[in-house]
Chains A and B, each alone.
Chain A
Amino acid sequence: MKKGMSRKTRAAVTGQLFVAPAALIVLVLFVIPLGMLVWMSFQDYPLLGSPTFNGVDNYTSIPGNDTFLNAIGFTLAYTGATTVVMFGVSFILVAIANSSRRGSKFYRTSYFLPYVVGTAAATLLWFVDSDTLVGVFNQIPLALGIIKEPIAFLSTPELAFWTTIALVTWKFIGFQVIILLMGLQSIPRELYEAARVDGATVLQQLRYITIPFLRPILALLFILSVTGSLLAFDQFLILTKGGPDNSTVSLVYAVYNTAFVKFDMGKAAALSVVLLVALLLISAVQLPLLRRKDV
């Protein structure tokens, strides 16, 4: 006991040694790049040529950056709409797939299939399919006589917005449905039986058994949906290219454009830092949803 460390400190050192490899990986892959990003955000940093320090100029130019300001509003609207649509549609699909009707396994598989396609590939598919001349989204309704003229799905801001949301819903709904199904099936059958014995209605069963049991899962899906939508990028880059007329430029798209079209790495870094801080705040607000244990 007298020589060197106490048992407690020794245990603590051992623990730190065990954590060290993970800490090293976080340091190399996250902390150091993050530090470089912050450093870049204080530089005039062209892609070609050498960087020079310019203080907070990159940050003070953000309020005058129309593309980025418009992207904030657009991304929030997109996040809200996507989340509402995704939850609404997934509840309906879960109700279908959770029934013991014949073929429910078929539905489960078909909902999940789009999820295993890469986002870029799926988006390209939609890009071609929404074309007025060659796309099946027009060919089939035209052949069936539902519409007379082809619809240019990407020609107006509203159409492009809802086409993208339809794509995202189609692409990611499978994941949401599977997680919800898993949650539903983990609720003990006995609870429903007991409720029925006590004379509870279907709505009461939903309100007092299903929803409380699903809460942590709903919270998780909500957080994933919000963070995922706020960081949406590839679907806009490929499907709409930010158009028509810059109406679908998301936040990450604006950062990408600043960095790799305008080659202004400093400003792009500043935008990224702002985005990072905003996401941290939003996550801090959401995390308590996950922690609540009062099921």
Chain B
Amino acid sequence: MPRNLLRRAVLPALATTALLLAVSACSGGQTADDGPTTVTLWVASPTEAFSKALVDDYNATHDNQVELTAIPDDGFLQKVGSAAGAKSLPDILVSDVVYMPNYTSQGVLLDITDRIKDLPFADALAPSHIAAGTWDGKEYGVPHKLASSVFFYNKDLFKQAGLDPEKPPANFDEILADARAIHAISPNIAGFDFGGNCGGCSVFTQLPYMWANGEKMLTDQGTKADFDNKTTREVFGLYKSLWDEGLTPSNANTQDGSTWADAFVAGNVGMMAQGSAMVGKLQAKATFDWGVARLMSPDGSGTSTFVGGDSAAITATSKHPDAAWDFLQWSLEDHAQIDIVAKNGDLPDRTDLSDNQYTGADPRTKFIVDGVADGQTPFAVPFGELFNDPNGPWIAMVRGAVFGDNPDAAIKDGQAKIQAGLDEAAG
């Protein structure tokens, strides 16, 4: 490039650009104080669509605006951790409910106990979510998106197998008997399906069997584990029988959760403990009639569910806590819960809204929402590391007990390692 061209054209252009940037930066800084507030919100990518529907409606009807950023699910905790260190967290954090103790125990979130108490529907908020967001008696989170594990079954296959389609299994013996009957229809039809190499899938669907009788697997604010017991052995024993007898699809022991709903939705599986999110897939794709039942204790004397999903919280470093709370409160009120959440086929966050026009229209969705009141959310600070991690001790215990030759040793070993992980986290 000739030197005079550089001097005549390029340098002035650069200078002008720099000047413009400087001017716009200044003006941007000045208008931030007055006028409507913009609140930032982070959500993990699987929940993005759900949150966006709420945010869009809020932004269209309010002066304050919510700016949503979706973070890839795998890197969510890392991103939050590094942002917390750099004091650059958003105003609102939407996090998987099981990770709430990570944040509450570290003082990352703002105490919103009083704000929650002032809500007219405070008692109706999914109780296990509130409990999961509580640390030392202070409440830090409200439910955002609910998920609940239930027992799905294929009524068409029940009929073909000569079973009563209105009578889902009520205990473990019936599950096993029904699975045998359904598999007898054809070698390509499985009686039962599960994600045998997926920690998240298996805590979500197997823990409710264990606590349905009122037993506690995690106690003392998540510092004590009790898995070395009879109920745990019965739960894994059922799955072991199902697997050993070939009543499940052949990929159940490598199923990492990415396709674990597919075989059931395709109509090739008789029964499955699954998340409520599968309802949407079934409504859209299933060509068969399906039913839901509650997850039960081995003898069928009690039922329960794992209430998962995401909680929303305000960060301790937020400069706009009032504006942030305004959005959270709005998102829990009737309009948002019924006309957005329920209308889209999701579970309302409040137990008093289970018979709204959308959820109530299908008795099966109403049944799932009604179960939330009795559901539990397990509580442990290192929950991800111990239960969800594909290399963690929980899935090692499940695999040892279900696919291995020595279930007893696997359960004892798993109990020891989970307790060691809890001890380490407690410091």
Contacts and interface: CB of A to CB of B under 8 A. Distances in A.
Nearest to A131: B251
B106 A243 contact: no
Given A261-B384, A263-B77, 19 more contacts: A46-B106, A47-B77, A47-B78, A48-B80, A48-B81, A131-B259, A132-B249, A132-B251, A149-B250, A152-B250, A152-B253, A152-B254, A155-B254, A243-B390, A244-B254, A245-B399, A246-B391, A261-B391, A263-B81
Interface residues of B, number: 31
B389 A261 contact: yes
Contact of B251 (A133, A149, A260, A262): A133
B78 A67 contact: no
Nearest to B199: A241
B263 A132 contact: no
A134 B396 CA distance: 25
Contacts of A134: 259
Contacts, number: 72
Contacts of A244: 197, 253-254, 399
B156 interface: no
Interface of A: 46-49, 67, 131-134, 149-150, 152, 154-155, 241-246, 249, 257, 260-263
Contacts of B204: none
Given A257-B391, A260-B77, A152 B396 contact: no
A48 B108 CA distance: 8
Contacts of B392: 261
Contacts of A261: 384-385, 389, 391-392
B102 A48 contact: yes
Nearest to A67: B391
Interface of B: 75, 77-78, 80-82, 84-85, 102-103, 106, 108, 197, 249-251, 253-254, 256, 259, 263, 382, 384-385, 389-392, 396, 399-400
Contact of B106 (A49, A67, A150, A245): A49
A263 B197 CA distance: 23
B254 A262 contact: no
B391 A150 contact: no
A49 B104 CA distance: 11
11 contacts: A47-B77, A47-B85, A48-B103, A131-B251, A134-B259, A242-B391, A243-B197, A244-B197, A260-B75, A260-B77, A263-B81
Nearest to A265: B81
